[in-house]
Structure 1
């Protein structure tokens, strides 16, 4: 595994840095610096810049609108966007359903859906989890019944934890089309227009006070058969393919490296006249242990990239990346909250705004508790870490 960049790759890195510096939306940067909540238009502002450049879908094949980057170039891209504190592109279209459509979809489906995903004109959400069917996703109960004339499905059921469904134009849903088959063999993969009559989106407000996730109720929702991806009752094949893409991206090594840099900045500064927190050997040890674990994870990611470049399957490495990456992300928010101390108390958020003479703690501390709460989800979504360990045991140990 060669860890040195070639001259061409260094030139690409410099091109990426220059592009971000010149084109990242200034208004978006300002809202990030102030810790303001980001809107759908904020997310789309960066999406559209990248779409115009042709860089919005780094892993897509060229024939479907991808830039034709190598695995190393994609790694450089993730490193540089994290280094520049760019917001992440919403994954549901680009990272999740897009690859499913260009891999399993018909030519008509590709022509219909892929352009809107690339441009950002269509905002997507994921209808997987249900009450009672999260980690055990194959036990889902949302039902889709084929009409007598075979032209459409009637869908009834409930989905939960549906991220950004309040903004979504389209959703990709797992539904049960054969209740008599074995669990994984009776599921289909449907694309559903979120404006279809019978769909109700109900917000779930997080502990951080944010409206990020939702419940989605489907009551006699009519979905054309041509919106089914792949064969009927073979949707689990699409689901597994999608989850493999999601898990690889969850690791977030580049973003975590930037997170540790921020911890060091925070903990190197005096607060309330006290010595910097990094002068405390116990806190310094936690940061050092976290850095070591992240370095080991980064080398694992680089090995998977080397395997991918050589045409080899990542195997259990994707599951390892998901487990360790999500745990490291949680530990970063824990250390930030520990550094914030009492200023991280949730009820301080926004307190004293507009009162420049008497601010309540440092600005970065306002997001410490909400971020800590929000990141509790990382070890659950994309397949809980307990399930991932079972998969590793089967793939590696043969248990």
Structure 2
């Protein structure tokens, strides 16, 4: 009876603070660097960190090599040298735009005709400028110098801020940093030792329901409620890289929906495929069910394409809808993702709880 009463009071006191929960990035940035380095050294696991590094949803290996291949978008992490201190590595992950390694500055090339192209400069002479296309790694774009009006160097790294929020938690961050530190110190040999088997990071196959979706029905049912749901998704996630009408996103190469041409197609089904399969630096959004994908597509079309970027507002005619793949399912219902559900509380919810804000009332190893 007493134990039940204590736990009830504990939870009642704790619940008001759930709304103030910080994301992982905020938690890490509020921790002194020296403390983080110590945690990485003592608690990080480089093998687990290697598995995290190669996960598709983090995109680390899309831009960085670890001594196994050349990559034009980011430095080889086994060849960083003595200047890459522990603090440098931590800050590069948490605040990638603070120091951008020379040669990996993103630029926007503006032609005399007003066309804008983003990329990294591969080479530049009096006659020719060659860019690496960031959205299509390995693809070179060549411009005659006389056709170029301006080259604007971005102060923002092509590595988006907030990537750590894709991690499962603080421990996975410590593991990832331990991996980066060990391959920095041990070079290609250590990277080869820590290379995880593909089975641990290979992209998951598409769910079976993707083969039998009623795309026509889902598009026909889009309405104001779809718009509101899509807006909530966009402002929670997409806004980080793609930005808004007034504020650019954190990834310079991401499409700006109010002005840019979509590289992988602007019709709703093409946009659905981009969300499902990924394109360029954008990874597949495996957490989204079909309804959520079409909701956010509907929001982008109505909030950005329709009024600001009409060339990308693809008309959904009867002929277009009739040509979509046929099916009889709309997939599973969306799940309500809330931060506290994402935490790993252990087998018995054992933790140390603080009641109040004065650091004077703790329940040590309270079992909920």
Same fold (TM over 0.5): no
Larger Rg computed on CA atoms: 2
TM-score normalised per structure 1:
0.25
Q: RCO higher in 1 or 2 (8 Å CA, sep ≥ 6)?
A: 2
TM-score normalised per structure 2:
0.26
Specify which structure has the higher proportion of helix: 1
